[in-house]
Structure 1
């Protein structure tokens, strides 16, 4: 059964990125409901959110294709229920605080000087705990 899926990915600027994503969706015969692009100057990363109708198993295939073809940093899918209970976020933490977040489902993307750039798909209750734990972190997107 088809449901609305929101795909969120983080990547660096690439001249043909939007056309590559559209081509992947066209080949899979998926109609894009919405396509939002946001830029973070601190990290020089783009956050792209794509809404479309599909089933959960096909969404995993789409994620695998996107990760392989356009070399994105990370990619997450959410159905309508997860949109209410989870957040996709990108944040910057001082390296000295890295041990404080090991219990959260966080991916380390890269290190720049004295900070880690991290992202994750976190349940709302864990997000607030993480936010209180990391008072010196900088939330880039959510």
Structure 2
């Protein structure tokens, strides 16, 4: 089977030690993370991790099963690049003197949709949003003009066809089985809700 890029979207509770539990699953299998991002989701107290790996479909399916076994994880979505809308943000620091002298640089920045976020007499920092090719192409071009520093963020992604877990969580909260005396019912209820 051929390896390709997969984006895993992991919905979790925000618990201490959860990141370590997820990291162990990858390190035991010697799988390198291409990108990792953690952020709040649209639901209060529920977080989402966006993890990018380059692996075969079979390996990724096994990863998803292992991650979903963690108690604090609600659901894991596995998507290829054509199934998501994704972006990264990059910051480029370049000498201000070059920008003032060379009109080509200004045109180049406009072409890539870059915005100035800091302008000082010694350097200017530009911000650009895009995918790998766009960010790398601007990096190559600005390198010709004395690029001082560069940094890019991890990937953030939204699944094209998914409603995420928002509706499921709201339904679960509405019918909160924790009010009943048996805790096992809550765990079974949670498990059924997040099966797709």
Q: What TM-score bracket applies, with the shorter chain setting the length?
A: 0.5 to 0.7
Name the structure with the higher strand share: 1
Q: How many residues align?
A: 105
Counterpart for residue 52 of structure 2: 51
Quick check: 2:42–2:166 contact (8 Å CA) kept in 1?
Answer: no
How do residues 46-85 of structure 1 correspond to structure 2 at under 5 angstroms? 46-83=47-84
* Gap change, CA 1:16 and 1:91, over 3 Å in 2: closer
Counterpart for residue 39 of structure 1: 40
Q: Distance in 1 between matches of 2:67 and 2:83?
A: 21
Gaps of 5+ in 1: 94-107, 122-142
| TM-score computed with the length of structure 2 as normaliser | 0.46
Quick check: 2:15–2:72 contact (8 Å CA) kept in 1?
Answer: no
* Residue-by-residue CA offset, 1:81-110 (whole Å, 9 max, x unaligned): 2225825443655xxxxxxxxxxxxxx235
Counterpart for residue 173 of structure 2: 112
Quick check: 1:8–1:88 contact (8 Å CA) kept in 2?
Answer: no
Q: Distance in 2 between matches of 1:113 and 1:18?
A: 28
Name the structure with the higher helix share: 2
Q: If you compute each CA radius of gyration, which structure gives the higher value, 1 or 2?
A: 2
**Structure with bigger RCO (C-alpha 8 Å, 6+ apart):** 1
Gaps of 5+ in 2: 86-158, 176-192
| TM-score computed with the length of structure 1 as normaliser | 0.61
Quick check: 1:17–1:70 contact (8 Å CA) kept in 2?
Answer: no
Moved over 4 A (4+): none
Q: Distance in 2 between matches of 1:48 and 1:37?
A: 4
Counterpart for residue 3 of structure 2: 2
